[in-house]
Homo-oligomer: A and B are copies of this chain.
């Protein structure tokens, strides 16, 4: 019996999903969001769920934080397409012994986060279950010239990240070890914020773009696979804050590993052609190459990457 645990999320999805043939589907399965054409408009549609005791527990998160995070992770996917979020549909699975007060606070987290982005909650569904699941489907509008697909990277594009990395992964690992950490790291894990504003500034100039939910190395790999390119990542150039450096060392982790492999990162990684370099924001971390494979450059040496880290199924 081959179990999910052994196959992992990405392999499984690849095995069982099918390609679409509809000419109105501009982006199908395999990107941060699907994109469909409706009349003259393009709609980006994404879906992400938070599962109790997998992605959060009520002993660590407040209900408001859970609701907020459920919205932010979806806004992050919408932003990664170069799109602007507009509508959300909320599907809740609830245990029968969840106090109504907690559900109200969870909804309050959802609504406050939605309000911040002017997102309208237009519908949803509730069902009974044995663990809480907050499943959000989000719809955004995207302009053709601002659409950033995984498959849009070109050889010689420069790879940028929109902000410093490793905060969420370092916080997650410190938490697992029961170590205390600076409040900015805690905040990155418990109250992450999608980088919609940064996306708005670069979407018209970027080629491929993704949020870094699966870790930088993984996301660069996804881009290269779908763009039929390779890439080189400059390990010594990764933007890492002093707080992450200190906290990572305290728990015996290499800060650069946290930045390279750490998931649940809400910064964006994008590729941009040299001619648009003056429009780039953030930090240069690599380059797209014609030569396939992902190579890591550090301390004057280059090696082909084999490990890309982070699989949601293996996380907890």
Contacts of A305 in B (CB 8 A): none
| Number of A positions contacting B (CB below 8 A) | 72
Q: With A17-B121, A94-B4, A122-B25 as given contacts, are A38 and B43 in contact (CB-CB < 8 Å)?
A: yes
- 17 A-B pairs with C-beta separation under 8 A: A1-B99, A2-B100, A12-B100, A12-B126, A17-B107, A17-B121, A20-B122, A25-B87, A45-B87, A45-B123, A47-B137, A49-B125, A49-B127, A51-B127, A54-B128, A91-B137, A133-B135
Could you tell me the distance between the alpha carbons of A101 and B131 in the complex, rounded to whole angstroms? 24
**Once bound together, how far apart are the Cα atoms of A75 and B29, in whole Å?**
21
Q: How far is the CB of A46 from chain B (nearest CB, A)?
A: 7
Please provide the 10 A-B residue pairs with the shortest distance between their CB atoms, ordered closest to farther.
A34-B122, A34-B123, A137-B137, A39-B39, A16-B107, A5-B96, A51-B129, A22-B120, A2-B100, A38-B38
* A7 to B33 CA separation, bound complex (whole angstroms): 36
Collect the chain B residues with CB atoms within 8 Å of residue A133's CB.
Answer: 93, 127, 129, 133, 135
Interface string of A112-139 (1 = CB under 8 A from B): 0000000011111111111101010101
For the complex, is A163 an interface residue (Cβ under 8 Å from B)?
no
